């Protein structure tokens, strides 16, 4: 796609009545079904590639007239939450999972009337006007199997209401911290539990009788020392799935749960609860770049955790698997309570 065409898609239409109807967008994109789409395993790269592919395909057909820059304003700060294919007011998503798909929309409530674009005429484009384009890609054959174009109203009517707006916290693990961890024997950084939780943990292993997704029971939680003893040797040297971060995270979650003796199901891995292994108040993260996505909760802010009564984000234990970006092999482990987050970095 040429730079000129790419810049055109960065403008809203002159008026929303000129947007191509959703059924027509679906018809225009049908030519992509059966085409190869190479998944790189890097979420941002794959997302950018599918967005370019959709834009290139739409550009083969008549497009709405772009609005002059002086005739509209982007309302959200820094344009966050505004569709990237602005000219057709489209957001694109890749679906690679089976029967269950967790739609995550960042920085806006899709079913709200919040203003995204305001025209000088007083007309608006709201979050509710965005059209969602889903491309289902088979991760085995790397081909596009189907395409859906859905409105927020259809999604809510068919699948239920959107939840609370997603908050996405992140932390940065500097290279010096990673180097320090990998220089240890065994490679890693390890801490004990918070003083409040240390009174309610056990240091001898017994096979769990609860589900990994059950709420933790005080006096049944394994201490961080016991978790270190049970997990580190079993994790280091193991390769994780090199697909998207979400899949690598699920692979790590499965491996940790099995090492702890839990019987697990795929449904539990897809629940996306915090912390991942609630029964042990244990959150697991893959770290192959300086930035680690934390999601809704962050150890930087103390708050009670719904799935872990009487515990706060400072008590929750974090396991970060330091993996090689090329091979996915776990090279080291950081294991600490949330309260020690600032000490780690």
Residue whose token pair is 């409105």:
151
Domain span at 246: 169-344
Asked, for residue 308, whether it belongs to a domain, the answer is: yes
Is 58 a member of any domain? Answer: yes
Comparing CA positions, the residue from 220, 193, 224 lying closest to residue 207 is 220
269 occurs within a structural domain: yes
- For residues 223 and 161, which has the higher predicted lDDT (pLDDT)? 223
Q: Judge if 270 and 311 occupy the same domain.
A: yes
Residues 133 and 235 in one domain: no
Residue-by-residue DSSP string for 5-63 = HHHHTTS-BSSGGGSPPHHHHHHHHGGGTT-B----S-HHHHHHHHHHHHHHHHTTS--
Lowest model confidence (mean pLDDT) among 58-62, 207-211, 227-231, 267-271: 267-271
- Domain end marker among 122, 138, 159: 159
Residues 152, 179 within the same domain: no
Q: Which position has the token pair 């390890």? A: 190
Give 162's contacts (C-beta < 8 A, 6+ positions apart): 105, 109, 110, 111, 152, 155, 156
188 and 322 share one domain: yes
Model confidence over 191-201: pLDDT tens digits?
999 998 999 99
By the 10 Å C-beta count (0-12 exposed, 13-18 middle, 19+ buried), 342 is classed as: exposed
Q: How many domains does the chain have?
A: 2
C-alpha span between 89 and 12 (Å, rounded): 7
| pLDDT tens column, 309-336 | 889 999 999 999 999 988 889 999 999 9
Residue 262 and residue 148 share a domain: no
**Sheet strands (E) in the chain:** 72-74, 90-95, 115-119, 124-126, 131-138, 143-150, 169-172, 188-190, 201-202, 221-222, 282-287, 291-295, 304-305, 308-312, 317-323, 330-337
Domain boundary among 159, 179, 205: 159
Is residue 121 domain-resident?
Answer: yes
Same domain, yes or no, for 181 and 79?
Answer: no
Question: Is 72 contained in some domain?
Answer: yes
Whether the per-residue pLDDT at 171 is higher than 80: the answer is: no
Rounded to 10 deg, the angle between the 43-58 and 22-29 helix axes is 100
3-state secondary structure (DSSP) of residue 287: strand
Give 25 or 341, the one with higher predicted confidence.
25
- The answer to whether residues 101 and 95 touch, using CB atoms and an 8 Å cutoff, is yes
**What pLDDT does residue 182 have?**
93
The residues near 141 (Cβ < 8 Å, ≥ 6 apart) are none
Domain boundary among 159, 180, 198: 159
95 is a domain residue: yes
**Is residue 90 a contact partner of residue 54, using CB atoms and an 8 Å limit?**
yes
ω into 290 cis (within 30 of 0) = no
Domain co-membership, 123 together with 227: no
What is the tens place of the pLDDT at every residue in 60-94?
999 999 999 999 999 887 788 899 999 999 999 99
Left, alpha or beta for 188 (phi > 0: left; psi -120 to 50: alpha)?
Answer: left
**Domain match, 130 and 21 both:** yes
Residue 247 pLDDT exceeds 90: no
Q: How many Cβ atoms sit within 10 Å of the Cβ of residue 295?
A: 15
Q: If you average pLDDT over residues 47-72, what whole number do you get?
A: 94
Whether residues 56 and 175 share a domain: the answer is no
**Closest-CA residue to 251 (of 323, 191, 313, 306):** 323
pLDDT above 70 covers a percentage of the chain that reads: 92
Task: Decide if 164 is inside a domain.
Answer: no
Do 15 and 114 lie in one domain? The reply is: yes
> How many Å apart are CA 278 and CA 24, to the nearest integer?
45
Q: Which two tokens stand for residue 74?
A: 């982007």
Q: Which two tokens stand for residue 333?
A: 């482990």
17 within some domain: yes
Q: Radius of gyration of the chain from Cα atoms?
A: 23
Residue pointed to by tokens 């949330």: 338
Statement to judge: residues 127 and 22 lie in one domain = yes
113 and 180 in a single domain? The answer is: no
Yes or no: say if 243 and 139 are a contact pair by the CB < 8 Å rule: yes
């Amino acid at each position: 796609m040429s730079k000129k065409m790419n810049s055109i898609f960065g403008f809203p239409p002159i008026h929303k009545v000129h947007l191509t109807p959703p059924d027509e967008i679906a018809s225009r994109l049908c030519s992509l079904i059966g085409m190869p789409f190479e998944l790189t395993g890097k979420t941002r790269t794959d997302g950018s590639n599918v967005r370019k592919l959709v834009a290139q395909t739409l550009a083969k057909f008549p497009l709405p007239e772009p609005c002059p820059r002086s005739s509209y304003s982007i309302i959200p700060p820094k344009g966050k939450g505004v569709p990237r294919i602005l000219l057709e007011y489209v957001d694109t998503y890749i679906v690679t999972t089976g029967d269950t798909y967790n739609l995550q929309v960042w920085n806006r409530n899709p079913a709200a009337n919040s203003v995204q674009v305001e025209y000088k005429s007083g007309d608006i484009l709201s979050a509710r006007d965005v059209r969602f384009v889903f491309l289902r890609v088979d991760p085995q054959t790397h081909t596009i199997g189907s395409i859906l174009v859905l409105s927020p109203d259809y999604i809510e009517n068919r699948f239920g209401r959107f939840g609370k707006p997603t908050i996405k916290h992140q932390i940065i693990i500097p290279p010096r911290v990673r180097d320090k961890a990998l220089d240890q024997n065994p490679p890693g950084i390890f801490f004990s539990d918070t003083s409040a939780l240390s009174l309610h943990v056990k240091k001898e292993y017994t096979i769990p009788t609860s589900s990994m997704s059950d709420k933790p029971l005080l006096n049944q939680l394994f201490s961080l020392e016991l978790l270190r003893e049970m997990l580190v040797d079993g994790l280091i040297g193991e390769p994780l799935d090199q697909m998207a971060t979400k899949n690598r995270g699920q692979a790590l979650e499965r491996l940790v749960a099995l090492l702890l003796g839990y019987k697990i199901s795929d449904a539990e891995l897809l629940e996306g609860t915090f912390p991942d292994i609630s029964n042990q108040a244990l959150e697991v993260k893959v770290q192959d770049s300086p930035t680690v996505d934390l999601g809704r909760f962050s150890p930087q802010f103390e708050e009670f955790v719904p799935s872990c009564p009487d515990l706060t984000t400072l008590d929750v234990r974090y396991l970060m698997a330091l993996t090689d970006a090329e091979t996915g092999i776990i090279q080291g482990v950081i294991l600490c309570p949330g309260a020690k987050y600032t000490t780690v970095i």
